Amino acid sequence: MTLLVDVRHRLGSFAVDVSFRSESGVTALFGRSGSGKTSVMRIIAGLDRPDDGRIELDGDVLVDTKKRILVPKHRRRFGYVFQEARLFPHLSVRQNLNYGRWFAPKAERRENFDRILDLLGIEHLLERRPAKLSGGEKQRVAIGRALLSSPRMLLMDEPLAALDDARKAELLPYLERLRDDADIPIIYVSHSVAEVARLASRIVLMNNGRVEAVGEAGQILGHPSIAVAVDRRETGALLEGRLHAYDSDQRLASIMLKSAQLVVPLAEELPTGRPVRLHIPARDVMLATARPEHISALNILPGTVVTLMSGTDGMCDVEVDCGGDTIQARLTEVSVRRLDILPGKHVFAVIKTVALRL
Ligand SMILES: Nc1ncnc2c1ncn2[C@@H]1O[C@H](COP(=O)(O)OP(=O)(O)OP(=O)(O)O)[C@@H](O)[C@H]1O
């Protein structure tokens, strides 16, 4: 699946001018509040007509202002999930789900009801009314309803924003399953680095109505331009690995990276071999020039300094290659000078275990 977006649109004093391509998997529209994410999503959805531009999905032209083509919203066959679930309160979960199914063209009304119930873990909720569901359960039903319309693409606008942290944590694994098993491309609007780090395959970084950068999630989250979207405190490296082992007594998982291993807190066991992602904020990484001893940190990785990027705040971000994975550490300029940190120097990256979360 390839979505091509190249549009310009004025909203009062705010101007949207974006151009990007999105492939399958989850493409996150990521940026600060007011950067224009929802405005772009509305144009893709067909809720707003852009002043100028083109949108194309797999060669199918949805918008071409020059040729006066504007495929209406209901013909675009997209599924939508918003911040709030917007379920019909007077209908049961089963009836809400069937409502979604009704929108699928008959020829494409795939018999995937059971598969979707299983994917989202909602089979036990079928006879309940929305008022008797938690926020996370409501969102799972809303996602199920969207999927049952056999959409060509799923548009999700901050689907976790209205949930508390516990419910967010509960819903995230379902969104991961959706990404990995449902075989449907997703455009996901978010301003949360934790969500995007966990879910996005690609990131379209938005700033003031424009695209600041586009690329693989790890590449964008580790790039200095990410500062337009997140506070510097949150920036860091995104690493991919596999669950190697789980210690249920200590509730610690061991994650195999390219060649290094990390220990990460994990409340519930996951199958070994499962791919996982870890976002390691640079502020939670220290550097030492000799292997530290008598230290509480469980994660001490040998590596080689690759680059140094000085900020304007007396801090310096140091990239360290640890056996093929690049980790970022934020140090004061004073420490950089004191330890004589330079490209090529051998160091040990010390990562606080409790800062890591799967
Ligand atoms: N219909 C409109 N008329 C005028 N200005 C608008 C209109 N819709 C949005 N805006 C402005 O456009 C800018 C971008 O808004 P948008 O909702 O797209 O941002 P966002 O990145 O999705 O933000 P948030 O994360 O807060 O939802 C904001 O300054 C907003 O006030």
Quote ipTM for the complex.
0.90
Candidates 7, 9, 10, 11: which one to mutate for ligand 1, based on the most atoms within 8 Å of Cβ? 11
Q: Name all residues whose Cβ lies below 6 A of ligand 1.
A: 11-12, 14, 31, 33-39, 191
Q: What local confidence, expressed as pLDDT, does residue 110 receive?
A: 60
Backbone phi, then psi, for 160, in 5-degree steps?
-105, -5
Ligand 1 atom nearest to 40, measured from its CA: 18
- Nearest-CA residue for ligand 1 atom 26 is 33
Q: How far, in Å, from the CA of 176 to the mean position of ligand 1?
A: 28
- Nearest-CA residue for ligand 1 atom 1 is 11
Q: Tell me how many degrees the CA angle 114-136-216 measures, rounded to the nearest 5.
A: 85
Q: What local confidence, expressed as pLDDT, does residue 107 receive?
A: 67
Q: What local confidence, expressed as pLDDT, does residue 15 receive?
A: 96
- Nearest-CA residue for ligand 1 atom 12 is 14
- Segments of the chain with pLDDT less than 50: none
Domains and CATH numbers, the chain: 3-236 (3.40.50.300), 237-355 (2.40.50.100)
- Nearest-CA residue for ligand 1 atom 28 is 34
Ligand 1 atom nearest to 35, measured from its CA: 21
Give pTM, 2 decimals.
0.85
Q: How far, in Å, from the CA of 34 to the mean position of ligand 1?
A: 5
Q: How far, in Å, from the CA of 208 to the mean position of ligand 1?
A: 10
- Nearest-CA residue for ligand 1 atom 7 is 11
Block residue for tokens 């870890």:
278
Alpha helices in 157-255 (DSSP H): 165-181, 193-199, 217-221
Give, for 137, the enclosing helix (H) or strand (E). helix 135-148
Pick from 16, 15, 341, 29: nearest CA to 201 = 29
